[in-house]
Amino acid sequence: MTNISFPSGFAWGVATSSYQIEGAAMEDGRGESIWDRFSKTPGKVKDGTDGDVACDHYHRFRDDIALMKSLGVKHYRFSVAWPRILPAGRGKVNQPGLDFYGRLVDALLEAGIEPFVTLYHWDLPQVLQDEGGWVRRSTAEAFVEYSSVVARALGDRVKKWITHNEPWCTSMLGYQLGIHAPGLKDYRSALEASHHVLLSHGLAVPVIRAASPGAEVGITLNLAPAEPASPSAADHDAARHHDGYSNRWFLDPLFGHHYPADMIADHIAAGHLPPEGLTVVRPGDLEAIAVKCDFLGINYYSRAVVRSDKVPEAENEPRKVFVAPEKDWTEMGWEVYPDGLRELLLRVHFEYRPRKIYITENGVSYSTPPGPDGRVRDEKRLTFLRDHFVAARRAMEGGAPVAGYFVWSLLDNFEWDRGYSQRFGIVWVDYKTQQRIPKDSALWYRGVMAENAVTVP
């Protein structure tokens, strides 16, 4: 056995998001979110479920914090539900909603757990969607107002802020592919939405800093290495395009390189954009988006192996294929590929030079149920996490400035269009009784966090 240790002060943690765990969808003045509307639209969520109750965390947050404490968790990433704070998207503040997060933050600090707060994890107020959502610049302006309200209320106690979770998902899953709320399928709208999401980040960062002195502020991207399925020139070009679509479209403007020219050209050629390009970009926007951040959050789940033949339902995007045997897929149908995390971290480090990186999500969906003795033997999750921790450590040896690692997720929860069919938690949730059972992976992770080291065969 080899012991692989991490630098002292490394921030081990767990992550969740508001709509996926809170429930209490109609309580204390919370407004409707796009996920309330979308999940209640027949056919949108595979098992027909929604987040009305979810893990009932809104009522059970003190127990959940006690659970985290018992596992030795010292850092917790959660998100704030915008419709709890500003039910109309902007304007009148809903004090009970704000108070909930105040109580949550206080209880975390009391338990010795540092809060990492994500401001947007996809639950846009429905009223803003009714105006066009992220396709409209006014939503970016409303986001800045919302961020300011939250940062002024919590900024004395919260010192780590993440503006957005996974802008690719907000824009592409939500507006291009129609898989997530609001469920639109319009490529140009998706590209415009992505710009407004990034713009809202750029405009909010100085506002958050002003309200939360000394805080670190960043953004979280979901990134995946893109590799050609064969040595052919066509597959190489498909991989270039896929990398542009899922990684560079977001990384480049955030790090001051503007939107990638090859992608603008591809989108014009495919008719996704007019010949003038991305016309919603106004003077000063790109400078705002490139605001210097304290860290980049990276969510990593798998890689993309790409072939040149096109997927019609994805508006002619290159096809992703699987080269790994089915036994190496997760229940989401994603390939288990730990080395992709090492590659990705080194690539981001060398090409973009973020000051600091937090792995803000990594984890796996396996539905292993409790045995007759009540124990959840999720050996495969434990191995998955261990191998990814080691991959991150290897990247750190190569210079990647990784400062922390958040396992997705603390609890089994509402997995968006898949409903409750996917279980990412290191803690089992019985949705009927709301009982929580730490899985074997959680008990093992407790040891990793305590030792600040991973033992590998």
Give me the residues that bind ligand IFM (CB under 6 A), please.
17, 20, 166, 299, 361, 408, 415, 424
Q: Tell me if residue 361 is catalytic.
A: yes
φ, ψ for residue 369, nearest 5 deg: -85, 170
Q: Tell me if residue 166 is catalytic.
A: yes
- Coil/strand/helix, residue 364: coil
**Could you say which of 32, 227, 335, 361 is catalytic?**
361
- 371: which 2 tokens? 């045995």
Q: How far is 343 from 447, CA to CA, in rounded Å?
A: 27
Q: How far is 70 from 432, CA to CA, in rounded Å?
A: 23
Q: How far is 18 from 124, CA to CA, in rounded Å?
A: 11
CA angle centred on 222, ends 76 and 400, rounded to 5°? 75
- The residue (of 284 and 333) whose beta carbon lies closer to ligand IFM is 333
- The residue (of 4 and 329) whose beta carbon lies closer to ligand IFM is 329
The dihedral built from the CA positions of residue 228, 239, 46 and 30, taken in this order, carries a sign that is: positive
- The residue (of 146 and 408) whose beta carbon lies closer to ligand IFM is 408
Reading phi first (left if > 0) and then psi (alpha if -120 to 50, else beta), residue 43 is in left
Closest contact distance (angstroms) between CB of 124 and ligand IFM is 14
User: Alpha helices of 285-436 — where are they, by DSSP H?
Assistant: 285-289, 339-352, 379-397
Contact 93, 149 (CB under 8 A): yes
Helix (H) / strand (E) element for 444: namely helix 440-451
Closest contact distance (angstroms) between CB of 299 and ligand IFM is 5
Closest contact distance (angstroms) between CB of 279 and ligand IFM is 30
Q: Using DSSP bridges, classify how beta strands 304-311 and 317-321 pair: parallel, antiparallel or unpaired.
A: antiparallel
The total number of residues written for the chain in this structure: 457
- The residue (of 216 and 415) whose beta carbon lies closer to ligand IFM is 415
Closest contact distance (angstroms) between CB of 234 and ligand IFM is 30
**Could you say which of 22, 32, 114, 166 is catalytic?**
166
Closest contact distance (angstroms) between CB of 17 and ligand IFM is 5
Closest contact distance (angstroms) between CB of 328 and ligand IFM is 18
Q: How far is 126 from 129, CA to CA, in rounded Å?
A: 5
- The residue (of 149 and 429) whose beta carbon lies closer to ligand IFM is 429
- 151: which 2 tokens? 């940062």
Reading phi first (left if > 0) and then psi (alpha if -120 to 50, else beta), residue 54 is in left
- The residue (of 83 and 228) whose beta carbon lies closer to ligand IFM is 83
Q: Which active-site residues does the annotation give?
A: 166, 361
